[in-house]
Structure 1
């Protein structure tokens, strides 16, 4: 399928999604979010895809935020719909996906851009990256899960400081805070994301999906994550991949997982 605002291609078992609005610093308008929903759901349902890497076109920005021009003139009900649709159709789809998603953060990741990166399971940043949630400068708060995911990643106090001051943090600061997993030179950004993804793709696919569900339930309202872990652990025993993994371990050979 051809997209206007993103680039989507699969190489090997990795599906690459690039926000392709470089002249707009890859800002997320509604059309881009709709295309992201389509690209993500297709990738998650494609048995040939093992994982997804999301990045932005160019070197200046991953995603510099939402397209604020689309917010002008909107009322309370419209604002609620914008946040709900964005969260349910894109950001929660990523976070709850059955395959690993890595954000390769090149340059600015602000507002909806940082929220997009935080929805991913792993974040790699280039050394020129700057991240923040500046919504209060517009009389808003983050609406795509930012208040929740930033708190989970960096803690309540730092999350409130970043949100209320609207200050950006550097890549080095983000690494120290636990907001990103790794910081590398710009030219090494995609290779580092691919290195991590390729290592992940040697592991059992069904176990990866189970791990994502269990970790997500650590923060799910009204859910006991320990119970989820027990159930997901038990289900793994019914997979062919489990049998293959144990056999390979006992036979001192490399496991060949098939996601079954």
Structure 2
């Protein structure tokens, strides 16, 4: 990974911090760059506040598939004042997006077709929690609806002090369907998650940190640097230990206390044998 000076200078100069790194993917509002063990996925349509569309979701899915095996940490960030204002309202018009079925057309399809289409959309939000990666969302400004769910897709969230999360799907007669409900309940609990979704109210940086929705809040001009500092701290630990620890914590909700203790023993046995040179 580049030195801290390399990472921070572009931020101070007002340039995108990944401008000088070759792009692996750059289309439909998504750019992927890789610098050694760190990949950066950037939303690149600030003029529309990084509003989301099926094309953007396909690009996000492609970014996940293009990650080299050397990547250990993925940073998700966005250009402009807002992380993502959510689904592009054009989706709700009769014509929808060019070359795409409108939502009205989707509703007229069979149950199987509709389910398969939504499952395809969800793929853009699921790969961020792969056990061999740690994903960090750097979130500023508005993160609404699909934008909120994209931030929730990551393992960790660093937010700017101007962040405003909101889950607005219910107010539109819809439900959050982009894999965001499970992590939201896991982070803030059922009662608070239900209240957030049903009211669609804004959640500030202070509340996000206090409820566990965000790991850290910083001034807006320090957001990229804070996310890179967190990535560097994660990279300081051996990769296999990070993978085992993430797997242990991800499985907690599906295990009893005794099952979790057994999983700890099994994981530690693998680590000890590996450190002793006795692994497979």
TM-score normalised over the length of structure 2: 0.78
Partner residue in 1 for 2:124: 90
Match of 2:65, SS?
Answer: helix
Partner Cα distance (2:255, 2:86) in 1: 28
1:40 counterpart = 2:64: yes
Partner residue in 2 for 1:250: none
1:26/1:243 CA distance change after superposition, 3 Å = farther
1:68-87 to 2 correspondence within 5 Å? 68-70=89-91, 72-73=103-104, 74-75=106-107, 77=111, 79-87=114-122
Partner residue in 1 for 2:45: 21
Partner residue in 2 for 1:234: 269
1:135-150 to 2 correspondence within 5 Å? 135-150=169-184
Partner residue in 2 for 1:248: none
1:232/1:66 CA distance change after superposition, 3 Å = farther
Aligned residues: 239
Q: Deviations over 1:90-127 (max 9, x none)?
A: 32211234111100001111111111111211100001
What stretches of structure 1 of length at least 5 have no aligned partner? 245-259
Q: Is the 8 A contact 1:63 1:108 kept in 2?
A: yes
Match of 2:177, SS?
Answer: coil
Partner residue in 1 for 2:97: none
Q: Deviations over 1:234-255 (max 9, x none)?
A: 222332xx349xxxxxxxxxxx
Q: Is the 8 A contact 2:72 2:132 kept in 1?
A: no
Q: Deviations over 1:173-200 (max 9, x none)?
A: 1111110000001110010011111011
Match of 2:128, SS?
Answer: helix
CA RMSD of aligned residues (A): 2.3
1:67/1:210 CA distance change after superposition, 3 Å = farther
1:91/1:228 CA distance change after superposition, 3 Å = farther
TM-score normalised over the length of structure 1: 0.83
Partner residue in 1 for 2:87: 66
What stretches of structure 2 of length at least 5 have no aligned partner? 1-23, 93-102
1:107 counterpart = 2:136: no
Q: Deviations over 1:205-234 (max 9, x none)?
A: 111112222211123489954444333322
1:231/1:70 CA distance change after superposition, 3 Å = farther
Q: Is the 8 A contact 2:50 2:85 kept in 1?
A: yes
Alignment match of 1:51 (pick from 60, 73, 98): 73
Match of 1:103, SS?
Answer: strand
Match of 1:61, SS?
Answer: coil
